[in-house]
Chains A and B, each alone.
Chain A
């Protein structure tokens, strides 16, 4: 009997002690809003292209933090951004999640009429050119956000994969052992 009382008493004491600690901690370290959203926004390419299906990069960040969207939902950011976000939020990405190679805009010379629509739209100033002149894409700056291709009146812009060169080639991962 005495043992039982000791056990009950000690458990009760431990429980209430921890309860108090937790309660105080919850009050003291309460976080207003979710700081993670801002941190994720800072990681996204800020093109506000809408390819993810959310209103702007902030909307996407909100959705990723809430778990409604995968970190891989941003095509312009690609693998690098997805991995950074996943690492930040502690999510593991599968190997197959990022199968698609990044694409960039390519302008078909023969069809381009030099209307400058794409030039004015491009969020990262990746398109160069002037009125009535052939436009060109600066591949290094293109995020592949697809906004120019949507607005091109002649359909001269297509999204294409970057060709592999010896300089950018990466040795493929060996297949799994049997």
Chain B
């Protein structure tokens, strides 16, 4: 294991970010427990970034654990597998973790309690597989990024193969407060993560692997260092704790000192970033042939009786998880799927967790904080906190005035929606909501504009067709008329000839 340290000067020059209260304990100090099988599972069809998957089972079908139930559609998508054996009860709208609270497509599964696996393809030495074969099997197992964005892992591997990756970064920063699932995973399954990381190295053809872990997780760093010891190409690096250290570009900058260009991918600078959980899932998928059917989730928050990290089947409803964590001690002010900074607030406990959910939080009113917004005092805290160097107050001002184009000019597209600005704002201005609104609105307008253009083309085509039809009709009419006239003339001529003959 090579020894890599962040240069102190880079630490000093890094000014962005915030240091929120971590709230990681007590969950971070307790081992991972199995959450067990809930009475009903809902497998969301849209739990990955990109296009929703398409169901390939019918209502009433009996499925086995790890069996494909919905297949990827298009280039950026991922397969969905049954997370236990059971019967498909319904396919259709179900409550989903989405900020709107609107339902989405899902497959409802009633477990039979036997938890029987579908046939698995065991591979004793997956490191000997060809890179393309690794990517194929990762795609077949439906592995997505486990850090929250849920970008299909196989798509990232394919991208990497094309653009000449030299370094793979494993993201073990886990900068969100409350969450400790990656921390626990690194402590308990460091070997799986390192083996999975080596597979990622092989699949991308990179030479180096850096594991970035925030310095508030010393136990995880130690465990990972021990596991990485035999491999000279892998380095475990302590990185400073600050939010959002786990953002892809910020992590690359911290570890390597380069800024990936805006508007491009990390692969453009020869780097690809995967979450530590993804590496573990890749290992399980290749070594044991297990599709991604479970993940580790932190169940925490002030309203939860016994916060804990749990191994959870994909599709488990929140109510089951909260119950397994000792239930609620008081009425939560907010239920959040994900971390408190970027997670999604959900209306009730019926929604299921997907592959990308790293936490389930039941936050009390005191934790959520007083949110009555007041006037902006232009204190500039948001400018200091922004990891991308934006001026959130100026952007929010423009969005408030309806000048979405101007907001875009000063960097709306570069916003990570990490929430650092909203966290520090002393006036409690919902800055992230402004940006989410503006982006959604711009996207909706773009969609609508495209649709109108298409409709316009249809309308014009129809008008042209009508014109052509009318012209053809007129021509036909004219031709008929001419024909008839000619026929009449001929008839008349014939008649005339006949009369002449008669008279002759």
Contacts and interface: CB of A to CB of B under 8 A. Distances in A.
Interface of A: 45-47, 77-81, 83-84, 93, 95, 102, 123-126, 140-143, 164-166, 168-178
Given A126-B458, A166-B102, A140 B376 contact: no
Nearest to B372: A178
Mostly, the A contact residues are loop
Contact of B458 (A125, A170, A172, A178): A125
Nearest to B431: A174
B157 interface: no
Given A172-B437, A178-B372, A141 B102 contact: no
Residue picked from A47, A84, A171, most chain B C-beta under 10 Å: A171
Nearest to A175: B373
Contacts of A177: 373-376, 427, 429
A171 B437 contact: yes
B137 interface: no
5 contacts: A45-B452, A123-B459, A140-B454, A143-B455, A164-B102
B74 to A, nearest CB: 14
B449 interface: yes
B452 A47 contact: no
B99 interface: yes
Contacts of B441: 170
Contacts of A173: 399-400, 433-434, 437
A169 B444 CA distance: 8
Interface in B425-448: 427, 429-430, 433-434, 436-437, 440-441, 443-445, 447-448
Contacts of B402: 93, 95
B343 to A, nearest CB: 15
A124 B455 CA distance: 6
Given A170-B440, A172-B437, A178 B455 contact: no
A176 B401 CA distance: 11
B332 interface: no
B247 to A, nearest CB: 20
Contact of B444 (A47, A77, A168, A172): A168
B451 interface: yes
B103 to A, nearest CB: 8
B96 interface: yes
A128 to B, nearest CB: 12
Nearest to A77: B452
A78 B462 contact: no
A164 B103 CA distance: 10
Nearest to A168: B444
A80 B445 contact: yes
B302 to A, nearest CB: 25
Residue picked from A80, A81, A102, A143, most chain B C-beta under 10 Å: A80
A166 B445 contact: no
Nearest to B103: A166
A173 to B, nearest CB: 5
Contact of A178 (B373, B399, B460, B462): B373
Contacts of B375: 177-178
A174 B433 contact: yes
A78 B448 contact: yes
Contacts of A165: 102
A166 to B, nearest CB: 5
Contacts of B462: 123-125
B503 interface: no
Residue picked from A81, A169, A176, A177, most chain B C-beta under 10 Å: A177
Contacts of A172: 437
A150 B320 CA distance: 53
Contact of B448 (A79, A95, A176): A79
Contacts of A166: 46, 96, 98, 100, 102-104
Contacts of A47: 455, 459
Given A79-B448, A177-B375, A178-B374, A141 B100 contact: no
A162 to B, nearest CB: 11
Contacts of B434: 173-174
A164 B402 CA distance: 22
B422 to A, nearest CB: 11
Contacts of A178: 372-375
B120 interface: no
A166 B463 CA distance: 36
A93 B458 CA distance: 29
A143 B99 CA distance: 29
B456 interface: yes
